Chain A
Amino acid sequence: MLRNLWRQLTSMRVALVLLFLLALASLPGALLPQWSLNQSKTAQYLLDHPTLGPWLDRLGFFDVFASPWYSAIYLLLFTSLVGCLLPRCWEFAQQLRTPPVAAPRNLARLPHHARVEVTGTPDEVAARIDAGLRGWRRTVRAGGATGAGAASDGRSPGSLVPRSPDSSVTVSAEKGYLREVGNLVFHLSLLGLLLAIAAGRLFGYEGSVILNAGQDLDGNPSVFCSSSPANYDNFRPGLTIDGTDLSPFCVQVDSFHAGYTDLGQAVEFDARVQYQAGDEVFSDVWHPANLQVNDPLRMGGERLYLLGHGFTPQFQVTWPDGTQREYEQTFQPENGDPNFLSSGAVKISDPPGYVGDEVREHQLALVGLFAPTAWLQDGNFLVSVFPEPTDPAVAIQAYRGDLGTEDGTAQSVFTIDTDQVDNGELVELDRANLAIGESMTLDDGTVITFTGFREWVSLQTSYDPAQTWALVFAVLLLIGLMISLVIKRRRVWYRIAVLDDAGSESARPRCVVHVGGLARTDQAGYGEEFDRLAALPDRPVEPGARSGR
């Protein structure tokens, strides 16, 4: 029973069905939003489909490639593969040690067949053929070895019958064993590739962080060190990663430059960074490097990528008590705006000059837009007309009151909690469009000045110890595939019998040679080669030709 199940599982038919299941099961991964790729899109989908969505979620359709059913399919497929490969490796090793199979009874029934008459004794002809089959695995068998020679030849058309069945000689040859090697390499590499991917999932991790370029308001560079997952804005560990022994490196961004065409299409992104890795961390050794799109920084196993960029407007606030303070906050590029209109919120939770509960009542939020090249649509609405910061401006709405940051719920850094506005805790004040150097004054005398901006870059680090192995197996897979598709496994047999030619009593004996050819896979392309093979018995004997066996 179990044995039968195993045989079923490792049959080509089941392998094929599993392949199709794999293809089918992958489709929802392409058609439905996936948590791992786009959380907000997935959440939106759930909101839009309140009945279907939760069910799909429960069944793993928004995380297809980690779902149990997907795993089940590919694990079954690979079990089938192993069960299929091991016996095939064994069988192949056997075949390499045994001579090519004996000629079938009737060569005329093979897809390729020919009949030629030549001069020479069967042994001479066999030697000729043998010499011509260099590069083939071949064996010459004396007549009668198959015990079928006479019967089959007797059926062939024509009046010429071999003198005696025992005088016939057969040559069997086979070529293209490399095809099987290629096929085995291909399938084994698939297995290796799966293991490499699995290793990456276990031991790798990814993290991303946003870093401002240049120096902050106190003149210090922003430094990011990868020593702890907590330093990342977003950290996605592999299954065995607990974050305790990440190989550390530190990086700071000196400057960032984006180049554009006149039409505003980006042509170049370039971040100048400095980094230290390994033992250098926390020392004074820094290495300069350029980080570009499609050109990551590689530090040992860690890789650092430039993934995005944006703007960080800076403000100066003069509080009613006369204190001046500087604030800056990364803004987020508006979805899909090619001209980098960005939105964000500066949240000031510790206004100076207040104590106790007053602090909560006088927290300040500057919510609005940043445009690198500003244009006031209809004289009032801020838009951006070019992605480069040639004429930056902000449109700011000020709020005062309780930001609601103390109740413990996490807030987005880019927006304020609108519930606080709705319940009256946070009061809407003035709004204004400000160019660099311009100010607005609030009702209590607070002066807000837009002083400038910095650029930020979003960086990603990736670590995958097995990715080189994945590449090795992928290349082996390709090589194996090409070998197995190009090389044809083919066989040819010659049955040589003496012609009982009573008519002419010439000195030289004559033979009839039946040739049969079979390609084990696709027949196409064997035809021409077979014609050449069929001509072999007639070739002149080369000097020194061995009667190889």
Chain B
Amino acid sequence: MVNEALARWSDLAFEAALAGYVVALACYAIDFAARRGAVPTEAEAASVRIRQAARAGGTTTLEAPGHIGTVQRRTARPMAERFGTAAVVVTVVATAANLLSVLFRGLAVSRLPLANMYEYASAICAIAMVCWLIVLARTKARALGLFVLLPVTILAGVAFSVLYVPAGPVVPALNSYWKWIHVSTVSISSSILLVTGAASVLYLLRSRYERRLVADQRAVTDAAAAPGGGDVFPGSVTSVAADRSLLSRLPSLASLDRIAYRTAIVAFPIYTFALIAGALWAEVAWGRYWGWDPKETCAFVSWVLYAGYLHARATAGWRGRPAAWIAVVGFASIIFNLFFINMVVSGLHSYAGLN
């Protein structure tokens, strides 16, 4: 029934992937730490200016600089640059290993490998990494890698050490094609939302940093304007702050916002579809399409939060940081649903089923 050889290959591949993630994480960290405190890019400078204008009572918003080119930064030191390249290469290899692990597991048990939390977590890691590689290829925002790899590596580690279960068949309650459609789309959308979440966390950090930058700049201008304060060069404080903070090495607010938004609008319809598929499954399995089971309820909460995120982006006064906060809370609710609801509050969804 279970192909033991393939199952072993799957386990090996997952271990390799986990090792790869750890190495990649280290490389990203070195790359990130060694980046020069960059001179703010055009976009950053613009966003600083806008924030300043806003503070001065203007009405310009962050949305104003529409045309934002690729973010250019001064390159990092060669050594760190090499670590950055290594991080990407290792990420690609580890992601491939993770995908192979999922594939082998599926072949070993002749079903979709999403029947327990281990398989589910492994798939989420793999898809999140694929999504990250796509984002990386499109935006070159490598500095984000550290923050995507961090949750993925933790999740993979937990999957390996806590959630692991050997390959086996599933109970009949889980054997429905709607279930497979439901679970695979939930895991795909959660994986993409992981990238949204990481980008939004960074957005919040970065915007705090930029607000400090603005404050510094104002201090400088005030000092320069004050009689006898001419010995402070405008800009010097800014660059000091910029150099000192790791946060200056993050992609610009505009790129982070764009990454968060674009991943969210890909993931949200998939998540919506997953909920509908889940309802269809519940209809054939439990006799009603929606029953406010804890898992269903929590999924509904996440859905409403992301609907709120999209709404917030169209609501005056809620763009930018409030929206980013919502995305972060939304992602927290997904993780909460995966771990807390599965392990503590078990409803019908507990992977136990009928028997």
A interface vs B, CB < 8 Å?
12-13, 15-16, 19-20, 22-23, 26-27, 29-31, 34, 36-37, 64-65, 110-112, 197, 206, 258, 261, 263, 265-269, 292-296, 303, 305, 307-309, 338, 387, 460-462, 464, 467, 470-471, 474-475, 477-478, 481-482, 485, 518-519, 521-524, 526-527
**A148 shortest CB reach to chain B, Å:** 21
| Residues of chain A within 8 A of B333, CB atoms compared | 23
Q: Mark B245-276, 1 if CB is under 8 A from A, else 0.
A: 00000000000001001100100110011001
Q: Which of B289, B318, B347 has the most CB of A within 10 A?
A: B289
On whether the beta carbons of B308 and A293 are closer than 8 Å, the reply is: no
Are the C-beta atoms of A22 and B304 separated by less than 8 Å?
yes
128-170 of chain B: CB within 8 A of chain A? 168-170
Write out the residue numbers on chain A whose beta carbons fall within 8 Å of the beta carbon of B301. 23, 26-27, 30
Contact A478 B273 (CB under 8 A): yes
Q: How far is the CA of A293 from the CA of B284 in the complex (A)?
A: 8
The answer on a CB contact under 8 Å between B355 and A338 is: yes
B222 within 8 A of A: no
Binds A, one of B19-27, B60-68, B187-195, B199-207: B60-68
Known: A266-B172, A293-B172. A16 touches B286 (CB 8 A): no
Which residues of chain B are within 8 angstroms of A206 by Cβ–Cβ distance? 287-288
Are B354 and A112 in contact, CB atoms less than 8 angstroms apart? Answer: no
In Å, the complex CA distance between A174 and B286 comes to 48
Judge whether B354 and A462 touch: CB under 8 Å: no
Given contacts A16-B315, A294-B172, contact A36 B354 (CB under 8 A): no
Would you give the shortest CB distance from A334 to chain B, in whole angstroms? 13
A524 touches B290 (CB 8 A): no
Nearest B-chain residue to A64, judged by Cβ: B292
Q: Are B173 and A294 in contact (CB under 8 A)?
A: yes
Q: Are B312 and A471 in contact (CB under 8 A)?
A: no
16 contacts between A and B (CB under 8 A): A19-B304, A37-B291, A112-B67, A206-B287, A265-B169, A268-B172, A293-B172, A293-B285, A294-B173, A296-B287, A305-B285, A308-B354, A309-B354, A475-B276, A485-B265, A519-B66
Bound Cα distance from A20 to B283, whole angstroms: 28
Shortest distance in angstroms between A477's beta carbon and chain B's nearest beta carbon?
7
Are B168 and A16 in touch, CB under 8 angstroms?
A: no
Question: In the complex, which of the residues A37, A482, A522 contacts B347, with contact meaning CB atoms closer than 8 Å?
Answer: A37
Q: Does A12 contact B354, Cβ atoms closer than 8 Å?
A: no
Q: A481-B268, A524-B261 are in contact. Are A261 and B1 (CB under 8 A)?
A: yes
**B171 near A: Cβ within 8 Å?**
yes
The interface of chain B, by Cβ under 8 A from chain A, is 1, 63-68, 168-173, 175-176, 178-179, 258, 261-262, 265, 268-269, 272-273, 276, 279-281, 283-295, 297-298, 300-301, 304-305, 307-308, 310-318, 333, 341, 345, 347, 353-355
Q: A292-B172, A305-B286, A524-B262 are in contact. Are A19 and B311 (CB under 8 A)?
A: yes
**Given A34-B292, A36-B292, A294-B173, also A467-B67 (CB < 8 A):** no
Q: Are B311 and A267 in contact (CB under 8 A)?
A: no
Asked, given contacts A470-B289, A478-B272, A481-B272, whether A19 binds B168 with beta carbons under 8 Å apart, the answer is: no
CA–CA, A197 to B169, complex, Å?
A: 35
Given the known A-B contacts A267-B172, A522-B261, A524-B262, are A12 and B314 also in contact in the complex, defined by CB atoms under 8 Å? yes
Are A23 and B305 touching (Cβ within 8 A)?
Answer: yes
- Tell me how far the C-beta of A105 lies from the nearest C-beta in chain B, rounded to whole angstroms: 17
Cα separation A303 to B292 with both chains bound (whole Å)? 20
A196 to chain B, nearest CB (A): 10
A15-B311, A477-B272, A485-B268 known; A266-B304 Cβ under 8 A: no
Query: Which residues of chain B come closer than 8 Å to A37, judged between CB atoms?
Result: 291-293, 347
B354 and A474: CB pair below 8 A?
no
CA distance A197 to B291 in the complex (A): 11
B353 contact set on A, CB distance < 8 A: 266, 293
State in angstroms the CA–CA spacing of A85 and B36 once bound together.
50
> Chain A residues with Cβ under 8 A from B262's Cβ?
524
What residues of chain B lie closer than 8 Å to A263, measured between beta carbons? 168
Please, which residues of chain B bring their CB within 8 A of the CB of A197? 290
**Contact between chains at B287 and A30 (CB < 8 Å):** no
Would B345 and A19 count as touching, CB distance under 8 A?
no
Other CB < 8 Å A-B pairs besides A19-B307, A523-B67, 19 of them?
A13-B317, A13-B318, A20-B308, A30-B295, A37-B293, A111-B66, A263-B168, A294-B179, A296-B287, A303-B287, A307-B354, A467-B289, A475-B276, A478-B272, A482-B269, A485-B268, A521-B314, A522-B313, A523-B68
Contacts of A309 in B (CB 8 A): 354
Smallest beta-carbon distance A104→chain B, Å: 14
The 4 closest A-B pairs by CB, nearest first: A111-B66, A266-B355, A294-B176, A30-B297
CB distance B169 to A307 under 8 Å?
Answer: no
Which residue of the partner chain, among A19, A34, A112, contacts B308 with CB atoms under 8 Å?
A19
Nearest-neighbor residue (CB-CB) of B287 within chain A:
A462
Q: Shortest distance in angstroms between B149's beta carbon and chain A's nearest beta carbon? A: 24
Contact A523 B63 (CB under 8 A): yes
Q: Within the complex, which residue of A16, A27, A64, A524 is in contact with B312, where a contact is CB–CB below 8 Å?
A: A16
Q: CA separation between A30 and B299, bound complex, in Å?
A: 10
Q: Evaluate contact between A12 and B315: CB separation under 8 angstroms.
A: yes
Most buried by B among A111, A477, A524: A524
**How far is B66's CA from A450's CA once the two chains are assembled, in angstroms?**
82
Find chain A residues with CB under 8 A from B66 CB: 110-112, 518-519, 523, 526
CB distance from B217 to the nearest CB of A (A): 24
Among B265, B333, B345, find the residue whose CB has the most chain A CB atoms closer than 10 A. B265
Report the minimal beta-carbon distance from A520 to chain B, rounded to whole angstroms. Answer: 10
| Chain A min CB distance to B338 (Å) | 13
Give min CB distance, A199 to chain B, whole Å: 13
What is the bound-complex CA distance between A72 and B178, given in angstroms?
33
State whether A16 touches B318 (Cβ < 8 A): yes
Q: Which residues of B contact A36 (CB under 8 A)?
A: 291-292
Closest chain A residue to B315, Cβ basis: A12
Complex CA distance for A308 and B172, rounded to whole angstroms: 11
How many Å from the CB of A20 to the closest CB on chain B?
6
A485 touches B171 (CB 8 A): no
Across the interface, A294 reaches (CB within 8 A) one of B175, B279, B298, B307, namely B175
Contact of B171 among A19, A267, A295, A307 (CB under 8 A): A267
Complex Cα distance, B276 from A470, in Å, reads 10
Considering the complex, give the chain A residue whose CB is closest to the CB of B258. Answer: A524
Question: In whole angstroms, what is the CA distance A15 to B311 when docked?
Answer: 9
